[in-house]
A and B are shown apart, each in its own frame.
Chain A
Amino acid sequence: QQQVKQSPQSLIVQKGGISIINCAYENTAFDYFPWYQQFPGKGPALLIAIRPDVSEKKEGRFTISFNKSAKQFSLHIMDSQPGDSATYFCAATSETSGSRLTFGEGTQLTVNP
């Protein structure tokens, strides 16, 4: 019940295209859903996050869509750039878990020039 499932495992997009990564969770106690971006040799860095009281959050080219009833959320990267090429992890946590993050399996995004 603690799992977060992420797809696809890898994604190749042309420059200017839209990248979409999906995640699903089971634990209804989760109340905070961050996305982390990881470049090779670096630690994960918080990209954008959402709480379940809203259905969408947008920051620049990055948008999270959240469907509470389906227990799914997704990351959309508009106008994808080669510099966006990285591994993206969705995650989930709750106040009661002390911010123990449960990560998805990761999506390796490649944006071709």
Chain B
Amino acid sequence: EPEVTQTPSHQVTQMGQEVILRCVPISNHLYFYWYRQILGQKVEFLVSFYNNEISEKSEIFDDQFSVERPDGSNFTLKIRSTKLEDSAMYFCASRKRGNTGELFFGEGSRLTVL
């Protein structure tokens, strides 16, 4: 069964460092998302991406964050200068055209900022 894959599974970084989280969405999916989950809390929307541009972003997704689809398969989330409060599990998700809400999530990348 096709799945969303994410790397790395866990990254530890120092405050102020840049981090790139990588995702390979399901191949025939057209819509891509990043969500985050702070430990013990609910899953929060960060950004959605379609047709090589951001379609929507939340108030969490400030100037420190950026997303990119550098080639036909990868989808990346960059945090330019990490803060302690960026420590969370980051989930990539994707969906097909038309299947509103039927998102397929990856297993997540745990980011720890020291």
Interface residues of A (CB under 8 A from B): 31-34, 36, 41-46, 49, 89, 91, 93-95, 97-106
Question: Are A46 and B42 within 8 A (Cβ)?
Answer: no
List 14 contacting pairs A-B, 8 Å CB cutoff, sorted by A: A32-B100, A46-B102, A89-B42, A91-B101, A93-B101, A98-B48, A99-B33, A99-B95, A100-B33, A100-B48, A100-B58, A101-B45, A103-B44, A106-B42
In the assembled complex, B75 has its CB within 8 A of some CB on chain A = no
In this complex, how many residues of chain B approach chain A with their Cβ under 8 Å: the count is 26
Known interface pairs A89-B42, A104-B42. Does A46 touch B103 (Cβ–Cβ under 8 Å)? Answer: yes
Question: Are A43 and B50 within 8 A (Cβ)?
Answer: no
Cβ of A42: which chain B residues have Cβ within 8 Å of it? 107-108
Question: Are A101 and B42 within 8 A (Cβ)?
Answer: no
Question: Are A103 and B43 within 8 A (Cβ)?
Answer: yes
Instruction: From B45, B55, B56, B91, give the contact of A43 (CB < 8 A).
Output: B91
Question: Are A43 and B108 within 8 A (Cβ)?
Answer: yes
CA distance A32 to B95 in the complex (A): 14
Question: Are A34 and B102 within 8 A (Cβ)?
Answer: yes
Question: Are A95 and B43 within 8 A (Cβ)?
Answer: no
Known interface pairs A44-B91, A89-B43, A104-B42. Does A99 touch B105 (Cβ–Cβ under 8 Å)? Answer: no
Instruction: From A89, A99, A104, give the contact of B101 (CB < 8 A).
Output: A99
Question: Are A99 and B42 within 8 A (Cβ)?
Answer: no
Question: Are B56 and A98 within 8 A (Cβ)?
Answer: yes
Instruction: From A36, A41, A99, give the contact of B100 (CB < 8 A).
Output: A99
Query: Smallest Cβ distance from A62 to chain B, in angstroms?
Result: 16
Cβ of A100: which chain B residues have Cβ within 8 Å of it? 33, 45, 48, 56, 58
Instruction: From B31, B44, B45, B105, give the contact of A44 (CB < 8 A).
Output: B105
Query: Smallest Cβ distance from A48 to chain B, in angstroms?
Result: 11
Query: Smallest Cβ distance from B61 to chain A, in angstroms?
Result: 11
Cβ of B44: which chain A residues have Cβ within 8 Å of it? 103
Q: Which residue of B lies closest to A4 (CB)?
A: B42
In the assembled complex, B106 has its CB within 8 A of some CB on chain A = yes
